[in-house]
Copies of this chain bind each other. A is one copy, B any other.
Amino acid sequence: MSNLPTSVEFHEEGPREGFQMEPTTYPLADRAALIDALSASGLKQIQVASFVSPRAVPQMADASELFAAITKRPGTRYTALWLNDNGFERARACEQVDLDGKLMFYTTEPFSQRNNNCSVAEMRERQLGWLDRYIALGIPVEKAYVITAFGCNLGGAVPLSAVTDQVRWLVDACADRRVPLPAVYLADTMGWAHPEEIKRRVGAVREIVPQAQMGLHLHDTRGVGGANVYAALQMGVRLFDSSVAGLGGCPFAGHTHGGAAGNICTEDMVFMCQELGIEAGIDLEALIEAARLAERIIGRSLSGHVMHSGSLAATKR
């Protein structure tokens, strides 16, 4: 019918995206139990925590302790987020983190300043340092994120050229160093994307780096997340970041009404892919159990759907 991929990969971001935005810090044992429940579902990659300023994000101050508390499952990578050299060195020092060589680019000055305390150009220059550091340490460069690639609550509309310029610059930087660029992720950090724009921007970036896989980091801020995933699938995209139970949202994204800024919901999207005949390599029922555990830990109803309605497994049998 269309150009859907035969398999997809969801990288779980709930533990980091979800708990960083909560006003309280939840017990470490609860967070470790959630991560273990997530890995039991077969997720291949889980972002456990961020190594960022404990002053800015106190919920993530115990990132190293959390890594130590996880029961690691073979076949699952346990990754972390860092935004600067200091964070990367803390992640390295932790020794428990599966270090994925990632790069990050901004598209608007106000969000670059607010999230990373530097200008768009400064962040870009810093990526040369990250690149060289990864190469020196033997960490393969794995992916680059273009943040707020569809629009920004603080900076407004983001022209396509703001995205493609960063990608072109990075392609040159990688070529200079003779390292491949395996994947480019477009992040809809604040839920501005719509399905046709997903197609347009994925297509435009793919023209620049046809050899790289395209990935998407999507938020379901305005109820269009599922449609955006479907549009991406139609473009053959097979890498997605997502959050169990729809947890998450960036604390610095500046939404006007506070709520509903979560990532696309892992189990809902796994459900959709399964229904579409696309292999996600996930035990959906186990993932739903993890989502319900997340709800019990957070202590309020979360935005995931399948966790409340149940999948169709029992009824279809």
Which residues of A come within 8 Å of B, CB atoms?
Answer: 1-2, 4, 151, 153, 156-157, 191-192, 194-197, 199-200, 220-227, 229-231, 255-261, 265, 268-269, 271-272, 275-277, 301, 303-312, 314-316
Contacts and interface: CB of A to CB of B under 8 A. Distances in A.
Nearest to A229: B227
Contacts of A304: 223, 260
B309 A221 contact: yes
A291 B278 CA distance: 35
B227 A272 contact: yes
A277 B310 CA distance: 34
Contact of A310 (B4, B157, B256): B256
Contacts of A261: 308-309
A223 B305 CA distance: 5
Contact of A268 (B223, B275, B310): B223
Contact of A192 (B156, B265, B312): B312
**Majority secondary structure, A binding face:** loop
A257 B310 contact: yes
A299 to B, nearest CB: 14
Contact of A271 (B223, B272, B303): B223
A1 B197 CA distance: 10
A308 B259 CA distance: 5
A314 B192 CA distance: 13
Contact of A305 (B260, B277, B310): B260
A232 to B, nearest CB: 11
Given A192-B312, A260-B309, A309-B257, A265 B199 contact: no
B309 A276 contact: no
Contacts of A272: 194-195, 222-224, 227
Contacts of A230: 195, 227, 230-231
A258 B309 CA distance: 7
Contacts of A268: 222-224
Contacts of A221: 305, 309
B305 A194 contact: no
Contact of A309 (B227, B255, B305): B255
A35 to B, nearest CB: 22
Contacts of A195: 230, 272, 276
